[in-house]
Amino acid sequence: MAAVRAAKQALRKEIKRRVAALSAEEKRRQSVVVSEKLFRHPKYVSCKRIAVFLTMDDEVRTEQIIKDIFKRGKDCFIPRYKSSRIHMDMLQLSSLQDMETLPLTSWNIRQPAEDDNTREEALDGGGLDLILVPGLGFDGLGKRLGRGKGFYDTYLDRCMKHPKGKPYTIALAFKEQLCQEIPVSDNDVLIDEVLYEDDDSGGP
């Protein structure tokens, strides 16, 4: 376990260095390519209830995706992280305006306030069809390197206990976040698919 932890830490450093070298313009450009691939993806087109992360600076931009979700009349859920007990819920957003009024966290991302109990949590209702997953690094086998807290692994574990079962998971990545292989431990949940800008930008 200690060896896996050390390997993950070293890889996190390396990927953060690679992504930090990207200009804001390049991050925007790759985000557009990845979003366009998602919009054509059959799982995205057919899903009704979708969870999406709000972007930190070193992640694929999701603003256009959130606009598209509302445009297509899908139900949009976003994370609320509780660092104190490594707990994450996916709470419903009602509109773009709703998102713009959410408070900012210390990570400089918006999320519903701790005492906001008016929103539906996805797993208390009809579950989720699709989760768009952030991360620091990914490999071709669906292994994901997160930030080390385990928010998404524990949430996907909860999803598996929902009558609907585990939603399809798609990670959104910059090319610079792809790795030959990610070291994983037993409680790391695999991602179904990683979308990134590759040489074949003709399809999902």
Binding-site residues from annotation: 8-12, 54, 59, 144-152
Residue numbering of the annotated binding site for ATP? 8-12, 144-152
148 HSE (CA, 13 A, CB side): 10
Distance, in Å, from the CA atom of 136 to the CA atom of 66, rounded to the nearest integer, reads 21
How many H helices and E strands in the chain?
A: 6, 8
Beta-strand (E) ranges in the chain?
Answer: 49-51, 75-82, 87-93, 130-133, 137-138, 144-145, 168-172, 193-195
Name the residue with tokens 């037993």.
186
127 HSE (CA, 13 A, CB side): 16
Residue numbering of the annotated binding site for substrate? 54, 59
